[in-house]
Amino acid sequence: MSDLQVVALSKVFGGLRATDDVSFSIEAGTVNSIIGPNGAGKTTLLNLITGIYEPSSGDVRLGGKSLIGKPTHVRVGMGLGRTFQTPQICHNMSAIENVMLGSHLQLDSRLAPAALRRRSIVSADKQCRARAAELMNYVGLGRYLEESPGAMPYGALKRLEIARALAGSPKLILLDEPAAGLGAPEKAELSQLISKLSESGVTTVLVEHDMKLVMSVSKHIVVLNYGKKLAEGTPDVVRDNPEVIAAYLGRAA
């Protein structure tokens, strides 16, 4: 069954076609990657899927339902979760409070800490906190519950964002460069976490430059270049595609 369908999707900024007539489908419960050189349109595509941008044309469907025109919080309710290329963490809140935000707030990059203090949310605080602690344990951050994000390693912040996304109980999670800035041991932990997510039935879409990670975890890969889909297929098919190799010339494709 196809979970996510991207149909003839385009996004034009001025004269630039950041996303140019892109179509692909993602199968439910699988790990997928979107790759491509810098500026290829990978983050723009995630922003179109999550509703930070509205497309110039085309459609995005989740479980057969169009997401177009729906605000981000509605898309979260429909089962979308995401992390950001640069972690969007509130530094004046503890790690666990950041995860608790994921139960209540939009996937927008503009987070609102004041929302946590609203009376209705405070009344549900205990339950929400217990769930957030569970998720932090799940992503391997159990020892950081009350930690200030500023005191946490970068790799831990990346996983904190994954825990926050999971707090919205997503069916599909989009991770924008989760391995960027991580050392080899942290990348190995991330790879295990991605496999664990997939085993639990969450569909995963990874935007990633680390080809070793991409090739080892993905079932399906979509390659973008200058906003267009250049190729798609299994890791083996994509790896051997001459156009993909040319687009990545000088990189570890």
Q: Is 197 in the site for ligand ATP (CB under 6 A)?
A: no
Size of the site for ligand ATP (CB under 6 A): 12
Element (H, E) at 142: none
State how far the Cα of 125 lies from the Cα of 133, in Å rounded to an integer: 12
Give the span between the Cα atoms of 193 and 188, in whole angstroms.
9
Residue nearest to Mg ion according to CB distances in the complex: 43
**Closest listed residue to residue 176, CA positions, set 78, 48, 24, 10:** 48
Q: Of 10-18, 124-132, 189-197, 241-249, which segment contacts ligand ATP by CB under 6 A?
A: 10-18
Number of other CB atoms surrounding residue 171 within 10 Å? 17
Span 77-96, contacts to ligand ATP by CB under 6 A:
85
**Considering beta carbons, is residue 29 or 41 the nearer one to Mg ion?**
41
Phi, psi values for residue 59, rounded to 5°: -140, 155
Site string for ligand ATP, 23-42 (x = CB under 6 A): -------------x-xxxxx
- Give which of Mg ion, ligand ATP, none residue 36 binds (C-beta under 5 to 8 Å, depending on kind): ligand ATP
- Give 70-136 as a DSSP string: --HHHHHHTTEEE--SS----TTS-HHHHHHHHHHS-S-SS--GGGGGSHHHHHTHHHHHHHHHHHH
Q: What is the DSSP letter of 249?
A: T
Quick one: what does residue 92 bind among ligand ATP, Mg ion, none, with the CB cut-off 5 to 8 Å set by partner type? none
Q: Which does 120 bind (CB under 5 to 8 A by kind): ligand ATP, Mg ion, none?
A: none
Q: How far apart are CA 36 and CA 85, in angstroms?
A: 14
* Cβ partners under 8 Å of residue 135, min gap 6: 99, 163, 166, 167
Shortest spacing between CB 41 and Mg ion, in angstroms: 8
Smallest gap from residue 209 Cβ to Mg ion (A): 9
Min separation Cβ 44 and ligand ATP, Å: 3
Q: Which CB, 167 or 206, lies closer to Mg ion?
A: 206
Interface contacts to Mg ion, rule CB under 5 A = 42-43, 85
Q: Which residues contact ligand ATP (rule: CB under 6 A)? A: 13, 16, 18, 36, 38-44, 85
